Structures are given as C-alpha cells and as structure tokens.
C-alpha cells in the first residue's frame, strides 16, 4: 500500500478585504497550498497569492448560510485533507469571529485531521477604522460589544446590546431598520451617533453616518448593501474630526512599496 502524504487544513483569516491586510503567515501559506477553499468576502487579488497550481474551490454563501451548506464545507475540507493535500480554508476577517471557523475546527477534530488556526484582522475593528471610527476612545467608550443580527438561537438580546458603550453589529446589511428600531425600543437614545460601513477597506467602501433613528433610512436611500457593519456609540462622533487626513494615502509611498515588493521576487 502506498503511503499518502498527511493532509492538513489551515483555517486562515483573510482580513476585511484589502489584500494588504493579510498576515504574512496567511500569504506564505497561500503560496504553498494545494487547495484553497474560499468564500465570497475574499478579494480577487488575495486569491492571486495562491500557488499557481493550487485548486481554487469557491464555497460562497450569503448571509449566515444554512447548516446543510456548512456541513458540505466541513465534508469538503475533510475530503481534501484525506487526499493528502495542504488545504488553506480562507475566511473573511478572523476565522473565529462570526466566521463559523470553530464549526470547521470541530469537524476536523472529529475527523482526526490536523489543522491550524491563523488569525486575521477582523472587519469588526478594521471596517470602522477604515471609516475613521475608533471602536474605543478614552472618555467616550471603554468597551466594545461585537454582536450579530442573525442568531441560530433566535433574536439577539436587544436590551443587552442597547446598553453597550460601542456596539458593532455584524450582518446588519438587510436588517438595519429592524436592528436600529429594536435598539431604540430597548432604550438607546435615537440621537446616538451611528454609522454603517459597507465593504470597509475595499476599493468601493462607503460610509453612511447619521443619528441612530435615521441611519437605516439613510443607508436605504444610499442603497447600502452587503457586507456591512452597523456601529453605534459616541465614538462615531470622532469621525468628523478624523476623516480629513486619515487613510489619505500617498502615491509616493505606494510607489515605493510596489518597488520594494518587486525587489523581493
Ligand atoms: N469573520 C469575519 C466576519 C464574518 S460574518 C470577520 O472577522 O470580519 C460576515 C459579516 O462581516 C458581514 O455580514 C459584515 O457584517 C461583516 N463584514 C465582513 N467584511 C466586511 C467589510 N469589509 N466591511 C464591512 N463589514 C464587513
């Protein structure tokens, strides 16, 4: 009987979108992968870092996806690893922040497949930052709550979320009206500064800022889609003071970076 190479799975966070926010370990693993299993929040330029002969397997799912689909992804990871392949499972942001990465890790544990978790920059922090919103700030917010509008267990605990200093709500895209209405009903002031960040760090990033009572209708007027995060809290008020120079970019530095990258190849 021929011995097969031992397969392995890397659950890798790809960051919020911009390929420049990938970790070095993620980029290095992509460069040697036999198979890359990825979903819809992965930037096309990030996929170009994969080994040219790597199999690229798209398992995109919208919103929370249903459990059957997740089971298929789990089965695919196990099957690819059992073929002796080095599999990179690329997930948006951080694999363990609302990414169902732990469900995949549990499936690999059960199947006896060795794996590693490679953290990524979560959009929960990076998308607000890209919109000039810090999630904490001395004097304004000493804590931040990350939550999701979709929950397998039913509706979120709005009363709890309404009491957060800074609230970052994931998967808010399609349900902004419901979420903001529920927060106000649960006691959050309708005047609380709020913003929706769509596709943070992507080329087509957009931000809508308005008081909590208005932010959903403003986002609807602007046809804000997915992926998007809702940020609620006094920290959003810093945006007007931070947006003029932040992320302004420098063509000269970008050219120098491009040259430096070329030099390493
Ligand atoms: N593991 C990911 C989150 C996966 S859940 C992470 O750590 O970022 C998918 C949700 O993440 C989306 O519905 C959206 O709310 C949010 N999201 C992901 N990328 C985003 C981006 N670039 N800008 C804004 N929100 C984003």
Largest Cα–Cα separation, the chain: 70
82 with 152, same domain: the answer is: no
252 alpha carbon to ligand 1 midpoint, in Å? Answer: 31
| Residue 257 covered by a domain | no
Contact 91, 61 (CB under 8 A): no
Domain that holds residue 193: 124-243
Distance 159 CA to ligand 1 centre (A): 23
Same-domain pairing of 89 and 133: no
pLDDT digits 0-9 by tens, 12-51: 999 999 999 999 999 999 999 999 999 889 999 999 999 9
Q: What is the tens place of the pLDDT at every residue in 154-202?
A: 789 999 999 999 999 998 777 899 999 999 999 999 999 999 999 999 9
Let me know whether 77 and 163 are in one domain.
Answer: no
Confidence at 145, pLDDT banded by 50, 70, 90: very high
Residue 142 in domain: yes
Report the pLDDT value the prediction gives residue 158, as an integer from 0 to 100. 95
DSSP secondary structure letters along the chain: -PPPPPPEEEEEE-BSS-GGGS-HHHHHHHHH-SEEEE-TTS-HHHHTTS-TT-EEEE----TT--HHHHHHHHHHHHHHHHTT-EEEEEESB-TTSSS-HHHHHHHHHHHT--EEEE----HHHHHHHHTT--S-BTTTBS-EEEEES--TTSS--HHHHHT-SEEEEES-GGGHHHHHHHHHHTT--TTSEEEEEESTTSTT-EEEEEEHHHHHHHHHHTT--SSEEEEESGGGGGHHHHTTTTT---HHHHHHHHHHHHHH-
Phi/psi at 117 (5° precision): -105, 125
Q: What is the pLDDT of residue 99?
A: 85
pLDDT band for position 4 (cuts 50, 70, 90):
low
Same structural domain, 80 and 168: no
Asked whether residue 200 is domain-assigned, the answer is yes
Residue 84 located in a structural domain: yes
pLDDT tier at 67, thresholds 50, 70, 90: very low
- As a whole number of angstroms, the distance between CA 145 and CA 159 comes to 13
Q: Are residues 116 and 139 in the same domain?
A: no
For ligand 1, residues with CB inside 6 Å are: 16-17, 41, 91-94, 97-99, 122-124, 127, 170-173, 197, 199-202, 226-229
**Cα angle value 90/93/99 (rounded, 5°):** 75
pLDDT tens profile 201-214: 999 999 999 999 99
Last-in-domain residue among 121, 138, 153: 121
The one catalytic residue in 4, 18, 48, 61 is: 61
Active site residue 34: no
pLDDT band, very low/low/confident/very high, at 265 (cuts 50, 70, 90):
very low
> What was the pLDDT predicted at 64?
52
What percent of the chain is modeled with pLDDT above 70?
Answer: 94
Q: Which residue has the higher pLDDT, 225 or 66?
A: 225
Residue 1 has pLDDT above 60, yes or no: no
What was the pLDDT predicted at 217?
97
Residue of 197, 169, 201 whose CA lies nearest to 92: 201
What CATH number did the domain enclosing 138 receive?
A: 3.30.950.10
Q: Give me the catalytic one of 39, 48, 94, 191.
A: 39
Total domains in the fold of the chain: 2
Of 11, 168, 170, best ligand 1 pocket probe by most atoms within 8 Å of the beta carbon: 170
Both 101 and 132 in a single domain?
A: no
The per-residue pLDDT for 206 is: 96
16, 59, 202, 219: residue to mutate for ligand 1 pocket, most atoms within 8 A of CB: 16
Residue 253, in any domain of the structure: no
pLDDT at 63 over 90: no
Question: Of 121, 152, 177, at which residue does a domain stop?
Answer: 121
If asked whether residues 110 and 148 sit together in one domain, one would say no
Residue 173, pLDDT score: 72
Q: Is residue 249 part of a domain?
A: no
- pTM, rounded to two decimals: 0.92
What is the average per-residue pLDDT within 118-138? Answer: 97
Asked if 166 and 116 sit in the same domain, the reply is: no
Q: Is residue 109 in a domain?
A: yes
Please report the pLDDT score of residue 171 as a whole number: 85
How many residues are listed for the chain in this entry? Answer: 265
- Residue 95, phi then psi, degrees to nearest 5: -65, -25
What is the structure's pLDDT at 149? Answer: 82
Catalytic residue list contains 94: no
Task: Give a yes or no: residue 2 inside a domain.
Answer: no
Q: Are residues 160 and 190 in the same domain?
A: yes
* Strand partners for 9: 87, 115
Considering the domain architecture, whether residues 83 and 116 belong to the same structural domain is answered as: yes
- Same domain assignment for residues 98 and 13: yes
Q: What is the CATH number of the domain that holds 91?
A: 3.40.1010.10
Residues 6 or more apart in contact with residue 67 via CB below 8 angstroms = none
User: For residue 62, what pLDDT band results from cuts at 50, 70 and 90?
Assistant: low
Same domain as 190, residue 88 = no
Between β-strands 115-118 and 55-58, what pairing exists: parallel, antiparallel or unpaired? unpaired
């Amino acid at each position: 009987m021929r011995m097969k190479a031992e397969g392995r799975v890397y659950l890798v966070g790809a960051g919020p979108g911009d390929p420049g926010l990938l970790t070095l370990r993620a980029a290095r693993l992509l460069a040697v992968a036999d198979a890359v299993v990825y979903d819809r929040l992965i930037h096309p330029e990030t996929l170009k870092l994969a080994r040219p002969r790597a199999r690229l397997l798209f398992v995109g799912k919208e919103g929370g996806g249903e459990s059957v689909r997740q089971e298929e992804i789990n089965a695919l990871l196990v099957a690819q690893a059992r073929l002796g392949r080095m599999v990179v499972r690329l997930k948006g942001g951080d694999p363990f922040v609302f990414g169902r990465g732990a469900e995949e890790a549990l499936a690999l544990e059960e199947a006896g497949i060795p794996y590693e978790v490679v953290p990524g920059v979560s959009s929960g922090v990076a998308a607000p930052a890209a919109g000039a919103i810090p999630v904490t700030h001395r004097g304004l917010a000493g804590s931040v709550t990350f939550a999701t509008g979709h929950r397998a267990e039913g509706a979120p605990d709005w009363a709890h979320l309404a009491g957060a200093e800074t609230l970052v709500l994931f998967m808010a895209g399609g349900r902004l009206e419901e979420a903001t209405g529920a927060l106000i009903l649960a006691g959050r002031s309708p005047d609380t500064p709020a913003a929706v960040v769509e596709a943070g760090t992507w080329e087509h990033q957009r931000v809508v800022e308005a008081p909590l009572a208005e932010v959903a209708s403003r986002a609807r007027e602007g046809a804000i889609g997915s992926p998007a995060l809702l940020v609620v809290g006094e920290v959003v008020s810093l945006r007007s003071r931070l947006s003029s120079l932040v992320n302004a970019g420098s063509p000269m530095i970008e050219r120098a970076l491009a040259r430096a990258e070329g030099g390493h190849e």
